[in-house]
Structure 1
Amino acid sequence: MGWNSWDSYGPTVREEEVKANADFMAKNLAKYGWQYVIVDIEWYQPNAKAHGYIPRGAVTMDENGRFVPSPNRFPSASDGAGFKTLANYVHSKGLKFGFHIMRGIPREAVDKNLPIKGSSVRAADVADKVNVCQWPGMEDTYGVDMSKPGAQAYYDSIAELYASWGADYIKADDFSTPARVSEILALHEALKKTGRLIVLSLSPGPFTQLYADFLQMNAQMWRISGDFWDQWDALKRQFEIAHSWETYVGRSSWPDADMLPLGHIGIRAERGDDRPSTFTHDEQHTLMTLWSMFRSPLMFGGDLPTSDAFTISLITNPEVLQVNQHSSGGHQSYRQGDIVAWTADAPGARRRYIAVFNVSNTARDINLAWRDVGVQAQRVAVRDLWARKDMGVQPNVKVSLAPHACVLYRVVPQ
């Protein structure tokens, strides 16, 4: 559970904005379990801009061809400090710090043929100029050819640097479509060698289930879809995607349904304009409920200090967050057309979580037997987790749902 700068600031976030979000998290969210503060893409570009990337834009590197934060955006990175001072600030708040990286080695390091720390080879010796990022305008790096001597040394060198800064989390991008197996292995191995516990999150997605066992052994999180934004059609698609990955949740690592584009987003984003999330309140409840039942990592994308009270209430409901953090066996238990239900086990004897969704564009009256959603009982005590109130003993699941709305219950068979 954490905050990532991408949905609000794209490639342009500045140190003072990271600190402001860390301050807000420490004061208002940490007690609910929120703990990670993540700087997203191109923190090494002094002139990064919103609404797209700068092809072969200026970058900041050290003498060994490793990206370092641009001091004009991160003043504490001056004099070779890198992210260490900012990480220390975040840690002082009782939080954890991380940042985004692109797959591969800086193109400028290859152009200058800089030496790779800890080896006798140079950047040009290990660069893979064929298998490069295909995103429009993203020309910061080449791939690394892991068949070349010194290739692992490059990944070892960046992992060593990140650990020295105090990184707790690395969001590693451009590692899918196709899956970059050799470079994932190299980065995973390099992070292990540091001796520091660093979460490895792989992007952008979608990975397929063909790689599920490999991903579980070599990462803590991996994306299961492309970038997810505040559009209902995208949210509706996530139901099928989550269902296809449900059996892989919680085996020491986590399929990632992507960030939460909620609150104040698009301030200087890579796409979209400055706006409050365009999801309706019902859609935001549906988003949080599906992510919680699926147990996706929760990474908030809005600017926390300027997000509205409703949004903050969504991400500080302790009973809903309990579903995300402590349920087990979450799965789609029912689907008839656009009526969907998910069921999960709750901590405590015989307790279950039940979520019912109306993903249609019209209001629906729903009447289901408890057995339809996997509860083998005729009478069930029900608590509404969004309303945070008990509903007494109910003989069935009977609810009227507006378009795109849901309910989330904790139930105990009687």
Structure 2
Amino acid sequence: MRRSFLRPLVLLTGLTFFLPHANAQVNGSGQKPYLGWSSFSQQTLDGSFLTQANMIAQSDALKASGLQEHGFVYINLDSGWQGSFDQNGRPIPNTTTFPDIKALVDHIHANGQKAGIYWIPGIEQPAVDGNYPILGTQYHTQDIVVTPLAKGNAFAGNPPNPYHDKIDFTKPGAQEYIDSVVALFSSWGFDFIKLDAVTPGSYSNDLSIDNRADVEAWSKAIAKTGRPIWLTVSWQLSQDYASVWQQWSNARRIDDDVECEGRCATLTNWPRIALREYDDVGWQHETSTTLGWNDMDTLDVGDGALDGLSDDEKQTAITIWAMANSPMYLGGDLTKLDDFAKSAFTNDELIAVDQSGRPAIQVTGGSQPVWMSKQADGSIYVALYNLNGLPSKVTVRWSDLGFRSATAVRDVWNRINLGASPAAFTTTVLGHGSRLLKVTPFGTVSAPAGRVYEAESATLSGTTYVSQCSACSGGAKLSYLGTSPTTNNATFNVYVQAPGTYRMEVDALTQGPRALVYTVNGSRPATLNMGGGSFNLPQATTVPATLLAGNNAITFGNPGTYAADLDRIVIFGDGSAIAPDFITYEAEAAQLSGSASVGGCSFCSGGAYVGNYGDGSQNAVTFSNVTVAQGGTYQLEIDYTTSGPRTFYISVNDGAAIPLEVNGSTFDSPVPLLLPVQLNAGSNKIVIGNPNSGGYAPGLDSITVGPIVGTSNLTAAITNKTGPDLLRVWQLSFTNAGNAIAQNAHLNSFTLIPTTAGTGCYAKPVLATPLPLGSIASGSTSSLNMPIVFSPLCRDDDTYRLQAIFSANNGAAVGSLTSMETR
């Protein structure tokens, strides 16, 4: 195997490569990512929402919300405003829904806001059929199209009738037509244009349609208006042509739509948020005040439960957007803006992160990623995430960020000082939660040399092969990894002198969501979920890897679907890195029996899930080697998918199966279920299925096992139980033992599992979590009554394993209650 070595570098000095320059972007816009609102998310729920009257109402609601004083000023109309074409072939409004679009824009401007409009590349067929004269020229609309007709954007159908026709910009009149359209939008007063269905991108990543000339033409047309009009190009643009998007636009959408668009019952959901973190890794060096911004799409965080996110997930979403310096524009209905959004977006310290002009870079990846952004005053924003569903301890060592210690740490969400932090910062982070810090660093730390292992020098199996890659290390990469739990993989022989946990950089390539699943010496499987915009440009992410002294076999593949292409791995450190305290086991890598089968699932961990099981004990999923170092009670996270109610049964170490009833609105997005389980030291077997005839189990994505989280100053206990046998009311009392108020406390989850299965006894909490607890003063206690339904077969002496997770201060204080209870 060929090996090479990287020279040491000083990390803090090396961070200067992403600092922005002072020059302005194209068209006099985009010096900072914009803040505002877009109509599209609400349109996915209400097809009649896009009207002039509703846009006026949204503008007025934004003005009244208090957000406008903090920079939220854009009101952007998305697709659906257009009705026909004028005498010059230009799109004009549907006069039924938009009787006077200029009056609408005037109203938005009078409210102190800016107005945005939507259009697409190419020219639509009715404008071509009309052969309209192009304003100010001798040419007509039929003179500027490609002949024979060709696709003009990603929405186009197949020739000979694409409807969205391609413009030939080498023909006279073509640029002038775009000039005339933009001049019309400008005459109405619009300050923003979203150009959608742009390729390469928008699910058409080659040059078969190719809208690069369209983007240039629209940008040049904007310049001719003499007005600073923002231009965003959309969606899921190819990174291979980043220089084009950077030269001619102010932002580019790097992801698919964040909205479910009918595929779930809410505006969005957690897996669509997590994908933004994955996608940003490949794009993180393509953004600045001069290069334009990576647009992560709408922030659906202001419509309460309709958003499809818990408050903790909303906090994480906002933190991801802010650290990326993405434009932040709300979706939903601003007339119903909730208190969470009002509190978040009037926090100027939080807004300053997004507006800093210094997008973050990822320092550590995987399920507990860490991002950092160095500021002009020498301070550093640091974001810690927990992408798992179970709460976990997360530690960031300052040396991994390039400095020795932190003389001051400030909590940005809570706007409080946390004091100095000598070598590291450790915190318990809720499932799908985050922390956002502003750190004052001291000293510098040189990163150790890394040992490079080129992927093309690995031992390959199955269909995996070496392919050319001009941007890759060594000029080559591995393709066709995955689709099998036993073959189509690459194994590296990695040597280290001392045992311990090292930092492993993985350089890989993908366009859209893919994952690499790897094992070290045949054990401790780990999944590296990824996103990105190119199969030609490698992206680097760093994860911990625990190695033995001497030679180690690190194997990369994917048991269920195609993996990302692989360029190389680099091993750093002296073995003192921090190992994760959880292990994720992909369902597609488990032992499947009977009809259980693997299916693709782009929002699932590893890109796949297991379905078609249950309907009898012969159809099941068996995790035969769930390993923990010590026996005891652990958190078990089960990530499942379902549309409608389903039940699965879980058996641990051949014990009687316990039924778990779940519900949901989509099979394309996994949801976590947390429960306490008793595991033995060493290997354990967990079987999931449904033995009942006709009782199909939910889709199964993965399971994750982790320790019970420690408690904070906020503690809990069961203090009273009342009511009849079949409907008991348990009182939970939460005590704040800290010296400051516990703000905005919540009961995040409450799980009650019978310790004796197979008896027909079950217990169901009536109230769905999370549940608000309010604020709890220092030294005070707050109580919550939880009604619980017990089945008729439950006895008074039956015991139940309880796990409750609770938090306060925007997830900065996290605690748990684990106990054995009778009813």
TM-score class normalised by the smaller sequence: 0.7 to 0.9
Q: Pick the structure with greater CA Rg.
A: 2
Q: After superposition, where does 1:356-375 map in structure 2 within 5 Å? A: 356-372=384-400, 374=401
Q: Aligned letter for 2:273?
A: L
Q: Aligned letter for 2:90?
A: R
User: 1:130-169, CA deviations, whole angstroms, 9 ceiling, x for partnerless residues?
Assistant: 1134448997632222232211111011011111111110
User: 1:24-63, CA deviations, whole angstroms, 9 ceiling, x for partnerless residues?
Assistant: 222321111111111111201xxxxxxxxxxxxxx32211
CA contact (8 A) 1:351 1:412 kept: yes
**Residues 379 and 60 of structure 1, relative CA distance in 2, 3 Å threshold:** closer
Q: Which residue of 1 aligns with 2:598?
A: none
Q: Which residue of 2 aligns with 1:342?
A: 371
TM-score, normalised to structure 2's length? 0.45
1:132 aligns with 2:152: yes
| Shift, 1:375, TM fit | 5.0
Give SS of 2:92's match: coil
Q: After superposition, where does 1:176-255 map in structure 2 within 5 Å? A: 176=199, 177=201, 178=205, 179-208=210-239, 210-229=240-259, 230-252=268-290, 253-255=292-294
With 361-370 and 350-359 compared, the bigger mean Cα shift is at 361-370
Distance in structure 2 (CA, Å) of the matches to 1:7 and 1:140: 25
CA contact (8 A) 2:316 2:432 kept: yes
Q: After superposition, where does 1:353-392 map in structure 2 within 5 Å? A: 353-372=381-400, 374=401, 376-392=403-419
**Residues 33 and 357 of structure 1, relative CA distance in 2, 3 Å threshold:** same
CA contact (8 A) 1:67 1:106 kept: no
User: 1:208-231, CA deviations, whole angstroms, 9 ceiling, x for partnerless residues?
Assistant: 1x2122211100111111111322
RMSD: 2.1
Q: After superposition, where does 1:226-375 map in structure 2 within 5 Å? A: 226-229=256-259, 230-252=268-290, 253-264=292-303, 276-326=306-356, 328-335=358-365, 337-348=366-377, 350-372=378-400, 374=401
Unaligned runs of at least 5 residues, structure 1: 45-58, 78-82, 266-274
The percentage of counterpart residues that share the same residue type is: 30
Distance in structure 1 (CA, Å) of the matches to 2:429 and 2:288: 30
1:150 aligns with 2:168: no
Q: Which residue of 2 aligns with 1:271?
A: none
Higher relative contact order (CA 8 A, sep 6+): 1
Q: After superposition, where does 1:33-52 map in structure 2 within 5 Å? A: 33-44=71-82
Q: Aligned letter for 1:14?
A: T
CA contact (8 A) 1:207 1:225 kept: no
Give SS of 2:426's match: strand
With 195-204 and 308-317 compared, the bigger mean Cα shift is at 308-317
| Shift, 1:255, TM fit | 1.6
Q: Which residue of 2 aligns with 1:115?
A: 133
Q: Aligned letter for 1:370?
A: W
Give SS of 1:153's match: helix
Q: Aligned letter for 1:154?
A: Y
Give SS of 2:438's match: strand
1:94 aligns with 2:137: no
TM-score, normalised to structure 1's length? 0.87
Q: Aligned letter for 2:233?
A: L
Q: Aligned letter for 1:169?
A: F
Give SS of 1:127's match: coil
Q: Aligned letter for 2:96?
A: N
Q: Which residue of 1 aligns with 2:182?
A: 159
**Structure that is richer in helix per residue:** 1
| Shift, 1:307, TM fit | 2.5
Distance in structure 2 (CA, Å) of the matches to 1:327 and 1:64: 41
User: 1:339-396, CA deviations, whole angstroms, 9 ceiling, x for partnerless residues?
Assistant: 1011112353x31111100111222112332222x15132431111111211122232
User: 1:3-35, CA deviations, whole angstroms, 9 ceiling, x for partnerless residues?
Assistant: 110001256411111111111222321111111
Distance in structure 1 (CA, Å) of the matches to 2:154 and 2:197: 9
Distance in structure 1 (CA, Å) of the matches to 2:68 and 2:54: 18
**Residues 140 and 163 of structure 1, relative CA distance in 2, 3 Å threshold:** farther
CA contact (8 A) 1:66 1:106 kept: no
Give SS of 2:93's match: coil
CA contact (8 A) 1:207 1:223 kept: no
CA contact (8 A) 1:125 1:148 kept: yes
Give SS of 2:362's match: strand
Unaligned runs of at least 5 residues, structure 2: 1-34, 260-267, 443-823
**Residues 181 and 137 of structure 1, relative CA distance in 2, 3 Å threshold:** closer
Distance in structure 1 (CA, Å) of the matches to 2:92 and 2:250: 24
Give SS of 1:261's match: coil
| Shift, 1:329, TM fit | 4.8
Aligned residues: 381
Give SS of 2:175's match: helix
**Structure that is richer in strand per residue:** 2
